[in-house]
Amino acid sequence: MIRSRRVVTPEGIRPASVAIRGGRISGVESESAPAAGTSVLDFGEAVVMPGLVDTHVHVNEPGRTDWEGFETASRAAAAGGVTTLLDMPLNSVPPTTTIKGLEAKRRAAKGRCFVDVGFWGGLVPGNAEELLPLLDAGVFGFKCFLAPSGVPEFDEVREGDLRAALPPLVERGALLLVHAELPDRLNLGWNEKRRSYASYLASRPGAAEGEAAALLVRLSRDSGCRIHVLHLSSAEALAPLAEARGEGLPITAETCPHYLFFAAEEIPDGATQFKCAPPIREASNREFLWKALREGAIGMIVSDHSPAPPGKKMLGSGDFREAWGGISSLELTLAATWTAASERGFSIADVAEWMCRAPARLSGLDRRKGVLAPGADADIVVFRPEESFEVVPGRLHQRHKLTPYSGRVLKGVVEATFLRGKRIYDQGGFPAGPIGELLRP
């Protein structure tokens, strides 16, 4: 039994005891005497909340394990309160665009994960015949790019490719995840002031996201396909998404902590640790994203943890055009979000909706994950939201320690993380070892 004065339940935050039996929650009671033989952990005033479900993680193994890997990524996840992650299909070799690629992923992950792990499949030109077999083999849906992905083994798709691929996905109710930037609006070959963050930002304007969102709304309206817009950074995408929401179309969107925490005006020239795609935009744009979260136009927050070796970030030259785009933040995503959210009057219950329940709902895991309720897995985070810490890269558990959060003071400390009732992280380490399961829908 786990007790606290502040337990995040579906009905609100209240004093409660979470009873656990066989790895699942057997009850959540306001006052409950433990049965004989029950061990009781009382965390006092700490927040007890569901384990985070991060549906946007690039683990990069196999093939680019020198960038990250299942062991290091899942350790970082556990330390940050993430108990379930879904791995993206690219940045590994082979990518998860075939059954062979999925099998390679599972072999690489087996017995090495500290949290539960599932897999997205990939939609690329020419793999339409692989989609239904991948669904049958247990992927959670499919990711595609409208713009170049940055790796040669995962090509972008055009509107015609999507229209050809959608019918079997619609028939099966499968989810399509989209990196939504229209390539015609991007200036990927820009060659002036390559150390300038403003130049990089101008090369990927907000209109590229806005027009891509409008295209996806049309596709959803025409086909009925469930579509999810990944890592939304631009306020220009919000109007078409609001229109779709008003029509009741099955289209949703996420954003990421770095778009909600940082602002373009604060990024120095040459500071390529901040490079990601889509880019971090202006402070005024950031506040529109927070407004969209408040109003429900954006429904969830995930990390888009996308690491690479420091050499790939071109720190020496500060060349934004050549640097790998990606933010490493899996361990920090809860604290970074809470720091920014609490400044704007949001509650920890809001954060739990965005980072636990909504991602579980998106992936179809909401009966097991993302909620403290009878029958769910006993995936639990003990979080102290009033405490703060300075981000010291050397203390992080990801493979490479480079992060734009270095030196920042963040609010919210993860005291302990439980996976199916077993303590997998506390500030003394990882007592249970790699007990994470490989998930299927």
pLDDT at residue 33 is higher than 90: no
Is residue 226 situated within a structural domain? yes
Cβ atoms of 280 and 264 closer than 8 Å: yes
Please report the pLDDT score of residue 103 as a whole number. 98
Please report the pLDDT score of residue 31 as a whole number. 73
Stretch 12-35: mean pLDDT: 92
Stretch 410-419: mean pLDDT: 98
CA torsion, ordered 349, 355, 356, 362, to nearest 10 deg: 130
Please report the pLDDT score of residue 26 as a whole number. 96
Please report the pLDDT score of residue 365 as a whole number. 98
Count of domains for the chain? 1
Beta pairing partners, 82? 52
Q: Which two tokens stand for residue 410?
A: 């963040």
Is residue 21 situated within a structural domain? no
pLDDT at residue 337 is higher than 80: yes
Summary mean pLDDT of the chain: 97
Please report the pLDDT score of residue 434 as a whole number. 98
Q: Which residues constitute the domain of residue 272?
A: 51-367+386-411
Q: Is the peptide bond before 152 cis (omega within 30 degrees of 0)?
A: no
Which pLDDT band, with edges at 50, 70 and 90, does 37 fall under?
confident
Closest by CA to 197, choosing from 266, 248, 120, is 266
Cβ atoms of 440 and 118 closer than 8 Å: yes
Is residue 42 situated within a structural domain? no
Give me the CATH number covering residue 299.
Answer: 3.20.20.140
Is residue 13 situated within a structural domain? no
How far apart CA 409 and CA 30 sit, in angstroms, is 34
Cβ atoms of 1 and 20 closer than 8 Å: yes
Report the percentage of the chain scoring pLDDT > 90. Answer: 96
> DSSP characters for 227-272?
EEE-S---GGGHHHHHHHHHHT-SEEEEE-HHHHH--GGGPPTT-G
Is residue 70 situated within a structural domain? yes
Is residue 31 situated within a structural domain? no
Is residue 436 situated within a structural domain? no
Is residue 36 situated within a structural domain? no
Stretch 174-203: mean pLDDT: 96
Stretch 148-155: mean pLDDT: 96
pLDDT in tens, 350-375: 999 999 999 999 999 999 999 999 99
Stretch 107-111: mean pLDDT: 98
0.85 exceeded by pTM: yes
How far apart CA 57 and CA 338 sit, in angstroms, is 19
Cα-Cα-Cα-Cα dihedral sign, residues 134, 135, 140, 141 = positive
pLDDT in tens, 255-290: 999 999 999 999 999 999 999 999 999 999 999 999
